[in-house]
Structure 1
């Protein structure tokens, strides 16, 4: 008993310490949440002054929601300290709820204020940003003469279609730089007039205009480099295409698989090569490269197709016709047996016969075209297999009905428990039909 009492006292002490720690955490969380609300309220006033009411509205709405829920937390804390006695479980539940509400409040304020931090920082640094915008405008304006010279130089080397990508870049960049300065001036005036929302919009617009202008100016230099790279690649593709044409001619001989397709692809690639501008003529290397690559890829595909067919010869029309005839013969045998002895035949044999007939209907359009002849051969073999399976299933059904005492599948029965018109020689007949079909296939 003494040992049990000691253990219980230790457990009570541990539970009491845990409850005390929970209560301490609840008080600390309540103080921290209340202080966070006060700090955020001060930040909200600054945000309204710097950014305007609409930008600060999400924070204001978050603060209102947090104040409402924190009121519940203060009420729960008050219940913990009123004159009405509480159980340990009641205190534990309230303190856990207080911590939950305070953590939720902190998360809400973190989410709402973080969205404003970048914009507030932008507003605080607006004088420096405006100065940087004006400096960037001057720097980029100094690059414009060289950009115009580059476009002029490129116009003698590349076609109008190619140069259309960058011909208007200098003028567009100049307009954007003018617009950036105008927006920067508007931002400064709106901030002096204490119209922060308009000032920030104008500041962001000016920043974006400078960024776009620099991208457009850089685009002219990038075009010159990429054009040289395209010309170098074009030379490699031309050499590769000529080598491919020489190699492909061996596959254009009449009678070879897909010779007509290879011949057409060779002609298309030769046409693309012939259409290339003469050296020294203004050209569009990007368009020339795209056309040549497409024709080269088409020839590669035709050559691969021809080589694959050569490695796996196309079945002859006679072989396909023979397989189709054999499939038809086997289907006819199966159909004759099933139609003549319906009283014995179950679902398996009927299903395989129906599937054989369905597959057979798909074959005929595939026999003549070379591209589908191999598929026709596979389908014909599938039909023959299904017909054979239908015959085997039919024979099992008939044997089971005749010798196994089955009730049949709806046919008439005579006094000897055989279908009306039945024959003990039927197994031999089916065997003869199967054997006849196989012999016919061998000697046709």
Structure 2
């Protein structure tokens, strides 16, 4: 019985393998069907979007064609040239989009890639045509509003031009007043603003008068360009007159800053003079005195009564002089500080060297027969350096000599102890 069923385990294994393979194949097929369904849904949605964009663009082109006719009648062919060009480009794009749609709708099978690419291209062409025509339509809507409101705008423009004219006298008076305190260089940016503003106001009036004449005569030509020219001229004049007021404020602020800087310069000069007078090095005092004289001259000139100022240039000139003073004063201060520090350090160095020399001299005396020439030579040099330190007027040199004396005395002591052992 057992021998007859020897094949049973192999059959079971084979059945299991076949079952697993069947499950895998079934899962793969379900996955493929899901992916295909998703792709089909995407293609369908793209096609729907493209169709909507195509219909919208086609309707808009029809409306824009009528709109262009109205615009030509109202504004003339020259003013509507851009509109006509935009309409022609949009029509060409729409013809291309319809040709692609026909390729999708004919009986020739298309690949998924072709469907996707053509659908996207249809949407893009239609949307570009729509956006272009919408922009042109909005522009001419704005122009119509301008034409409709032209009488009101002209009335407002004339009043604003009158107010700008009234400001001319005030601007001229401001420039005359500023000229008594500030130089021509300081006023260069705004000195011609009154004349330029007056010319702009005249241009604005001429444009406004031309527009008003057309309206009074009942002419069909649009006046929007003249109204716009008048607005731009008024804006230019207003900007120029505002710049005079702003420039006056800036000059006053600059002059106040100059006064503050001059007060600070006086303080710096006083500190520099004090350093010069107490400095122990004559060459440093001489260099410091020269830069003090330069800065003094600049400050005196900037404070000269009746002098007209260019605050920006004056501040730069003062800063340059003070920068030179700062550098020289810093160098002189460091040199004096080095001398002061050396003088303080010398006291301790001198005491230590004298003490070490005395200790070493006593040791050599106590071991007179056992200490050799080297130790005695170092001690003699230490004593010589100490004498030089005591005689030196320069504290830095005196400190160096005292430190050398200490070094030689220490060496002598070490050699003396070596000899005795």
TM-score, reference length from structure 1: 0.55
Partner residue, 1:348: none
Q: Structure 2: how far apart are the matches of 1:208 and 1:67? A: 36
8 Å contact kept, 2:181–2:309? no
Which stretch has the larger CA shift, 237-246 or 174-183? 174-183
Counterparts of residues 142-291 of structure 1 (less than 5 Å): 142-154=166-178, 156-158=180-182, 169-189=193-213, 193-196=219-222, 199-249=223-273, 250=275, 262-276=288-302, 278-279=304-305, 281=306, 283-286=308-311, 287-291=313-317
Determine the structure 2 residue equivalent to 1:68: 92
Q: In the TM superposition, what is the alpha-carbon distance from 1:145 to its structure 2 partner?
A: 4.3
Cα offset, 1:270, TM superposition: 1.2
For residues 274 and 48 of structure 1, the distance between their equivalents in structure 2, rounded to whole angstroms, comes to: 73
Give distance in 2, aligned partners of 1:111 and 1:254.
82
Residue matched to 1:138: 162
Aligned to 1:355: none
Contact 1:156 1:282 in 2 (8 A): no
Mapped contact 2:168–2:194 kept (Cα < 8 A): yes
Correspondence 1:295 to 2:318 = no
Q: Deviations over 1:278-325 (max 9, x none)?
A: 44x262252544433332344335445666888999xxxxxxxxxxxx
Q: How far did residue 171 of structure 1 move?
A: 4.8
| 1:90-141, Cα deviation, whole Å (9 max, x unpaired) | 6555434322332343455467667777767655644443222211112223
Output the CA distance in 1 between the equivalents of 2:66 and 2:272.
79
Counterpart position of 2:109 = 86
Partners of 2:84 and 2:286 lie apart in 1 by 75
TM-score, normalised with respect to structure 2: 0.58
Change (3 A) 1:169 1:254: farther
Residue 231 of structure 1 and its aligned partner are, at CA, apart by: 3.0
- Distance in 1, Cα, partners of 2:62 & 2:334: 78
Q: Give 3-state SS (helix, strand or coil) of 1:64's partner.
A: helix
Could you say if the C-alpha distance between residues 254 and 133 of structure 1 is closer, same or farther in structure 2, counting changes exceeding 3 Å?
farther
User: Aligned partners of 1:225, 1:92: CA distance in 2, in Å?
Assistant: 65
Distance in structure 2 (CA, Å) of the matches to 1:265 and 1:109: 73
CA contact (8 A) 1:159 1:284 kept: yes
Q: 1:22 to 1:256 in 2, by over 3 A?
A: farther
In 1, distance between residues paired with 2:150 and 2:338? 74
Identify if the C-alpha distance between structure 1 residues 194 and 311 changes in structure 2 by more than 3 Å, giving closer, same or farther.
Answer: farther
Q: Of the candidates 24, 27, 31, which is equivalent to residue 48 of structure 2?
A: 24
> Partners in 1 of 2:75 and 2:304 — Cα distance?
61
Residues 311, 25 of structure 1: alpha-carbon distance in 2 compared, 3 angstrom cutoff = farther
Q: Contact 1:51–1:120 at 8 Å: present in 2 too?
A: no
Greater Rg over alpha carbons, structure: 2
Deviation at 1:59, TM superposition (A): 3.8
CA root-mean-square deviation? 4.2
Cα distance between partner residues in 2 of 1:117 and 1:296: 64
Deviations 1:359-396 (A, max 9, x none): xxxxxxxxxxxxxxxxxxxxxxxxxxxxxxxxxxxxxx
1:43 Cα offset (Å): 4.6
Distance 1:70 1:136 in 2: 48
Q: Name which of structure 1's ranges 3-12 and 67-76 shifts more when overlaid on structure 2.
A: 3-12
Kept in 2: contact 1:162–1:283 (CA 8 A): no
Q: Partner residue of 1:430? A: none
Structure 1, 237-246 or 256-265: larger mean CA deviation: 256-265
CA distance in 2, matches of 1:175, 1:34: 50
> Could you list the runs of 5+ residues in structure 2 that have no partner in the other structure?
1-21, 340-421
Query: By how many angstroms is 1:241 displaced?
Result: 1.0
**Structure 1 residue matching 2:109: 3-state secondary structure:** coil
